[in-house]
A and B are shown apart, each in its own frame.
Chain A
Amino acid sequence: GAVVSQHPSRVICKSGTSVKIECRSLDFQATTMFWYRQFPKKSLMLMATSNEGSKATYEQGVEKDKFLINHASLTLSTLTVTSAHPEDSSFYICSARGGAKETQYFGPGTRLLVL
């Protein structure tokens, strides 16, 4: 199946700093990528949808100025958590849609801990 990578896999940062998470589709081109967030024992919650070369579409309640998304190429999307706070600590997962059947494939996730 198609492979999606994320980097870093885990990150610890101080409150007030910014953290960038990269999502790459390794063996296919993805015109659309998605960013999800998952809290412990909860299901995935969609944060935003990004299309290559255009602005991301954010879900209700997700602050676009806090969670900056850039989708500069067909294989790379980045999520930057700006001025991170402890409540931003979560498991962030990206997915990329592609392949012959336009299936969504997920990355391994990035665990963020804000101290």
Chain B
Amino acid sequence: DAKTTQPTSMDCAEGRAANLPCNHSTISGNEYVYWYRQIHSQGPQYIIHGLKNNETNEMASLIITEDRKSSTLILPHATLRDTAVYYCIASNAGNMLTFGGGTRLMVKP
């Protein structure tokens, strides 16, 4: 799996968009970008993943740069329940996922 780099922590005001960046400059052509989050004392929750195109679902949007070297996860209207550690992982489909340190997002009232 390609190495990913994320900021250690970020703050976001409740109701505002949370934009979480991820750098994956060594990603290979067949590696997807996966995003998971882990709320305290729970298992990771799948959020979204993509290969080249931007993706959107009911939870978030994933914006992948044209060169695929970085991506941004967007939570359009952050709530207090979105406070969690967010993991960005680059991996081939079907491979096991290797977790890095992630970004600790704190949503503040």
Contacts and interface: CB of A to CB of B under 8 A. Distances in A.
A and B physically associate: yes
Nearest to A43: B99
Interface of B is mostly: loop
Interface string B41-80: 1111110010000000000000000000000000000000
B13 interface: no
Nearest to A36: B99
Interface string A72-115: 00000000000000000001010101000111111111010000
Given A101-B93, A102-B93, A103-B49, A93 B44 contact: yes
B46 A109 contact: no
A6 B44 CA distance: 13
Interface residues of B, number: 20
B7 interface: no
A107 B46 CA distance: 11
**Which one of B38, B49, B96, B101 has the greatest number of beta carbons of chain A within 10 Å?**
B96
B87, B98, B99 — which one has the most chain A CB atoms within 10 A of its CB? B99
A105 B41 contact: no
A100 to B, nearest CB: 11
Interface of A: 1, 4, 6, 32, 34, 36, 43-46, 49, 91, 93, 95, 97, 101-109, 111
Given A36-B99, A43-B99, A107-B43, 13 more contacts: A1-B46, A4-B43, A6-B43, A43-B101, A44-B38, A44-B44, A45-B99, A95-B97, A101-B49, A103-B34, A104-B34, A104-B96, A105-B46
